[in-house]
Amino acid sequence: MTAAAGLRRTSRILLFDRAGRAFLMDTRAPSSDGFHRWITPGGGVDPGEDHRTAAIRELREETGIVIDDPGPSVWSWDFAVEFDQADHDAGHSEFYVVRTDGFELSATGWTDEEQTDILGWRWFSAAELEASGESFEPPDLPELIRRFGGVAS
């Protein structure tokens, strides 16, 4: 199967704890080779939504954290999608920063696809992510953790 033409807009949340670590989720990519990578919570912007509204919804659905305002977008990323089972061939992500004192992950808002595709989750400093040898997206994620986490790592 080849990727269909189209752009997918997503909102992503850089979710930080007091130590400046980012909460990341290990997720399967739409790829027949089983590729998976660490990414921030977030997902697609639904029809009629803006990025800010999608960030609020996605954070609630994927973590159970309820917020009123994620603040302004702090970074954006335009990228080509090369996974062979993707339904789009390009993406645009807007990133928002949210801080938490900790939380208990709730999967009650997960879609059936997320129930299958989310393999795990944990907190990472930039150095831990780089040292892990694991794949992650976007490629600038360690730098984003350093820049917006508020704590040197």
Q: Is residue 63 part of a domain?
A: yes
What pTM value is reported for the model?
0.90
Q: Is residue 135 part of a domain?
A: yes
Look over the chain and give the mean of its residue pLDDT values, rounded to a whole number.
91
- pLDDT at residue 153 is higher than 70: no
Distance CA 141, CA 150 (A): 14
Residue with tokens 């089983």: 34
Q: Is residue 1 part of a domain?
A: no
Secondary structure (3-state) at 104: coil
Residues 16/98, Cβ–Cβ less than 8 Å = yes
Q: Is residue 107 part of a domain?
A: yes
pLDDT tens-digit series, residues 66-114 = 999 999 999 999 988 887 777 778 899 999 999 999 898 999 999 888 8
Token pair of 124, please? Answer: 């990472």
Q: Is residue 132 part of a domain?
A: yes
- 11 to each of 8, 39, 44, 128, 133, how far by Cα in Å? 10, 12, 6, 24, 26
Number of domains in the chain: 1
Question: Domain containing 53: what range?
Answer: 7-148
Q: What is the pLDDT of residue 3?
A: 39
CATH of the domain at 103: 3.90.79.10
Q: Is residue 153 part of a domain?
A: no
Q: Is residue 144 part of a domain?
A: yes
